[in-house]
Amino acid sequence: MQRRLLQTASYSLLKRHRCVGSGFARLNVLPVASYSTKTVPLTAETYSKKVQRDPKYKQLDEKDLQFFKSVLPENSIITDEDDLLFYNEDWMRKYRGQSKLVLKPKTTEEVAQILKYCNENKLAVVPQGGNTGLVGGSNPVFDEIIISLSSMNKIRSFDPVSGILKADAGVILETADQYLAEQGYIFPLDLGAKGSCHIGGNVACNAGGLRLLRYGSLHGSVLGLEAVLPDGTIYNSMHSLRKDNTGYDLKQLFIGSEGTLGIITGISILCPSRPQAQNVAFLAVSSYEAVQKVFVQARRELQEILSAFEFMDNTSQKLTAKHLGLDHPIESGDFPFYVLIETSGSSKEHDDEKLETFLGNAMEEGLVEDGIIAQDEAQIQSLWSWRESIPEATTIGGGVYKYDVSIPLADLYGLVEDVNARLNDAGIASLEDESKPVLAALGYGHIGDGNLHLNVSVRKYSPEVESVLEPYVYEWIADKHGSISAEHGLGFQKKNYIGYSKNDTEIKLIKEIKNHYDPNGIMNPYKYI
Q: Does 235 bind a second copy (CB under 8 A)?
A: yes
Q: 311, 335, 386, 528: which one contacts a second copy (CB under 8 A)?
A: 528
Q: Does 180 bind a second copy (CB under 8 A)?
A: no
State the angle between helix axes of 348-364 and 288-302 in degrees (0 to 180), rounded to the nearest 10.
140
Provide the minimum distance between the beta carbon of 42 and a second copy in the complex, in angstroms, as a whole number: 26
Provide the minimum distance between the beta carbon of 204 and a second copy in the complex, in angstroms, as a whole number: 11
Q: Does 42 bind a second copy (CB under 8 A)?
A: no
CB atoms within 10 A of CB 140: 30
Order across the sheet with 125-128: list the strands.
Answer: 77-78, 102-103, 145-148, 125-128
3-state secondary structure of 270: strand
Provide the minimum distance between the beta carbon of 290 and a second copy in the complex, in angstroms, as a whole number: 15
Order across the sheet with 277-285: list the strands.
Answer: 370-373, 277-285, 337-345, 306-313, 438-446, 451-458, 399-406
Q: 18, 49, 248, 433: which one contacts a second copy (CB under 8 A)?
A: 248
Residues shown for the chain? 529
Q: Does 4 bind a second copy (CB under 8 A)?
A: no
Q: 5, 30, 241, 421: which one contacts a second copy (CB under 8 A)?
A: 241
- Shorter beta-carbon distance to a second copy: residue 315 or 451: 451
- x/- binding map, residues 443-462, to a second copy, per CB under 8 A? ---x--xxx-----------
- Sequence-distant (6+) residues with CB within 8 A of 120 are none
Do 316 and 444 form a contact (C-beta atoms < 8 A)?
yes
Q: Does 485 bind a second copy (CB under 8 A)?
A: yes
Provide the minimum distance between the beta carbon of 477 and a second copy in the complex, in angstroms, as a whole number: 10
Q: Does 338 bind a second copy (CB under 8 A)?
A: no
Q: Does 116 bind a second copy (CB under 8 A)?
A: no
Q: Which residues inside 189-228 make contact with a second copy, applying CB under 8 A?
A: 205-206, 208, 212, 216-217, 219-221
Q: 233, 314, 424, 430: which one contacts a second copy (CB under 8 A)?
A: 233
Q: Does 513 bind a second copy (CB under 8 A)?
A: yes
Do 157 and 113 form a contact (C-beta atoms < 8 A)?
no
CB atoms within 10 A of CB 478: 16
Q: What is the DSSP letter of 183?
A: T
End-to-end CA distance of the chain: 55
Alpha-carbon distance of 411 to 462, in angstroms, equals 28
Q: Does 2 bind a second copy (CB under 8 A)?
A: no
Q: Does 304 bind a second copy (CB under 8 A)?
A: yes
Q: Which residues inside 404-423 make contact with a second copy, applying CB under 8 A?
A: 406, 408-410
Q: Which residues inside 140-179 make contact with a second copy, applying CB under 8 A?
A: 159, 161-162
Cβ burial, residue 34 (10 Å; 0-12/13-18/19+): exposed
- x/- binding map, residues 283-302, to a second copy, per CB under 8 A? ---------x---x--xxxx
Provide the minimum distance between the beta carbon of 314 and a second copy in the complex, in angstroms, as a whole number: 24
Q: Which residues inside 349-408 make contact with a second copy, applying CB under 8 A?
A: 350, 353-354, 406, 408
Q: Does 234 bind a second copy (CB under 8 A)?
A: yes
Provide the minimum distance between the beta carbon of 211 and a second copy in the complex, in angstroms, as a whole number: 13
Alpha-carbon distance of 347 to 47, in angstroms, equals 54
- Shorter beta-carbon distance to a second copy: residue 83 or 159: 159
DSSP per-residue codes, 60-99:
P-HHHHHHHHHHS-GGGEE--HHHHHHHHB-TTS--B---
- Sequence-distant (6+) residues with CB within 8 A of 28 are 91, 195, 196, 392
Q: Does 138 bind a second copy (CB under 8 A)?
A: no
Q: 483, 493, 520, 524: which one contacts a second copy (CB under 8 A)?
A: 483
Do 437 and 447 form a contact (C-beta atoms < 8 A)?
no
Q: 244, 334, 365, 475: which one contacts a second copy (CB under 8 A)?
A: 244
Helices (H), 371-460: 377-388, 390-393, 414-425
Q: Does 506 bind a second copy (CB under 8 A)?
A: yes
Stretch that binds a second copy, among 25-33, 241-249, 314-322, 412-420 (CB under 8 A): 241-249
Number of residues lying near a second copy (CB under 8 A) = 89
